[in-house]
Amino acid sequence: MTASVAPSSPAVRTEDAEVLVVGSGLAGLLTALRLAPRPVTLLTKTPFLAGGSSDLAQGGIAAAVALDDSPSDHADDTLAVGAGLCDEAMVRLLAEDGAIEARTLIAQGLPFDLDGDGVPRLGQEAAHRRPRILHAGGDATGHTLVQALVARVRGTPSIRVVERSCAVDLVLAGGEVSGLLALDAAGRQVFYRCPRVVLATGGIGSLYLRTTNPPEATADGLAMAARAGARLGDLEFVQFHPTALAVSPADDGAPMPLLTEALRGEGALLLDGCGRRFMADEHPLAELAPRDVVARAVWRRVAAGERVTLDLRPALSRAGADRFPTVLALCREAGLEPAKTPVPVAPAAHYHMGGVVTDADGRTSVPGLWACGELACTGVHGANRLASNSLLEAIVFASRIARDVAAGVRAAPAAGVPSPQVPVLPVVPGGEVAFDEMAAMALVLRRTLYERVGLARDHDGLSAAGESLAGLSRRLDGLVATAAAAGSEAGASPTAAGLVRWCELRNRVLAARLITAAALARRESRGAHYRTDFPVPAVPVQPRRFLTLADLEAG
């Protein structure tokens, strides 16, 4: 629900930008750096430059850089895990470009872990046929790389960074991107007039009650692209990490600490409530089975009331404690000593294979709009992401997008093309009562998705979820309508934090409805999408599914 005004409206400040990058995870930072020396405005809604899931990533970057490895083998492993729904051409592009990009980053001095001879130390993770995972700072790969890139962004004069900036909506003119509406740190509306926008806003993890994602992962890019008419794909495939540290309440919105896949690669064992190893009975690869298999095996036991634990002692003995400093610190912060006793784990929403559909250069179906990183649906992950392919996807497509953006010069608008109509936020309810009501709505949404659109799904649960989410959408619209009718007499004006909360909740509700609709439409089990009423994969393979906001509204 927005109103539209001309760009000259006093309600909106206008700023010009040549290229706009939204998001400050690995995808956004690298895209901005690769565009240098072209002027770039980089928006992030966090109060610091490093944001998103990249900074929390304990895994590494999968790349065929070893002498006994090849991009072909890497691609084959990716295709096998993708359960028949990967775009094979895109997967082979990812693996081939990925090896080149990884070597480039190593040569550029990014702080990867090397042995005494200067050769990368490669780790083993689930469903990879051989060690090919590059790490930096042991299990602090994401943080180590992001901080190194942040320093480079700060030192690049052509990149203007705007922190505490919440993207609200894309603005179109004649069906093409003409800019983006955002809120600044004070809650004022800013129209960035710009014909080239790269969305790198990350995933959808905080839609779920249990997640490893940071609080800012509220599906903003997915919802904005949907409202702009972009084509979306593979939305039903949400990957749950099998081993999040289960030590904090799930309803506080905080991310669950992640216990990296590399632990099981080094020998960590999953134990049931009786202290018995169970994954060997679930899959020939046991703890190294694909993530969806491991996550569901853990989920069945947790849902039945069992306490599932991860025994880190074999991994610590084999790899050394210095290999996992982040994990050890997280456990000890929770009062656990993993060198002495197994630690409790539960599955948590971790990664979205679906998103805004792009081509090999990151272009979406909306002219002037690119998508990169977890937000993008490039087709490389299929129904299930291969471990450590996410950071690889970010570095590969950041470079391809930057080249494409730099090479293209948008023509001036043709005669007769209307000027952009900049959306203006409606009257948003303010005060503690409205803030509390939106928080309560967000909790209902997170519970609904975790319980009905999570690891195990069925028709009745998905249908009920769809009805509940549609009700939340109407309730949110009702809050705005009530505030508009009451005007200034309704109480306190919304603060900047309140405006951001409203924008995020609107995005969460829309994204949740889209994901639920996609999950309801796929009547089979495949990869990360498991239907108890359709427990086996369809034969022949059901095709990838694409939709737009218009499809949701028509359905």
Domain membership flag for residue 419: no
Query: For position 416, what pLDDT does the model report?
Result: 54
pLDDT, tens digit, for every residue of 487-498?
544 445 678 888
Q: What is the SS3 assignment for 331?
A: helix
Q: Any residues with CB less than 8 A from the CB of 464 and at least 6 apart, and which?
A: 452
Query: For position 505, what pLDDT does the model report?
Result: 96
Same domain, 107 and 217: yes
Q: Any residues with CB less than 8 A from the CB of 122 and at least 6 apart, and which?
A: 65, 66, 131, 132, 133, 134
Q: From residue 261, how far is each of 14, 251, 315, 335, 342 by CA, in Å? A: 45, 25, 11, 22, 16
End of a domain among 373, 407, 441? 407
Number of domains in the chain: 3
Q: Which tokens go with 453? A: 């659109």
Which is the catalytic residue, given 92, 291, 296, 400? 291
**What is the pTM for the complete model shown?**
0.92
Domain membership flag for residue 1: no
Residues written for the chain: 555
Domain membership flag for residue 417: no
Same domain, 249 and 230: no
Q: Which tokens go with 336? A: 């656990």
Same domain, 254 and 377: no
> 20 — alpha (psi -120 to 50), left (phi > 0) or beta?
beta
CB 389 within 8 A of CB 71: no
**496-521 vs 431-452: helix axis angle to the nearest 10?**
20
Q: Any residues with CB less than 8 A from the CB of 304 and at least 6 apart, and which?
A: none
Domain extent, residue 379, equals 9-236+351-407
CATH code (residue 365): 3.50.50.60
Domain membership flag for residue 416: no
What are phi and psi for residue 10, nearest 5 degrees? -65, -15
Which of 51-55, 214-218, 448-452, 513-517 shows the lowest per-residue confidence on average (mean pLDDT)?
51-55
Same domain, 96 and 218: yes
- Would you call 291 a catalytic residue per the annotation? yes
Same domain, 440 and 535: yes
C-alpha 242/C-alpha 294 separation (Å) is 6
Please list the residues that pair with 193 across neighbouring strands. Answer: 16, 179
Q: Once rounded to an integer, what is the mean pLDDT over residues 533-539?
A: 96
Domain membership flag for residue 422: no
Domain membership flag for residue 262: yes
Same domain, 401 and 258: no
- Report the candidate in 387, 386, 396, 384 with the shortest Cα–Cα distance to residue 358: 396
Same domain, 262 and 333: yes
Query: For position 490, what pLDDT does the model report?
Result: 46
CA torsion, points 367, 371, 377, 381, in degrees to nearest 10? 140
Domain membership flag for residue 431: yes
| pLDDT(409) > 80 | no
Q: What percent of the chain has pLDDT over 90?
A: 75
CATH code (residue 255): 3.90.700.10
What are phi and psi for residue 264, nearest 5 degrees? -70, -30
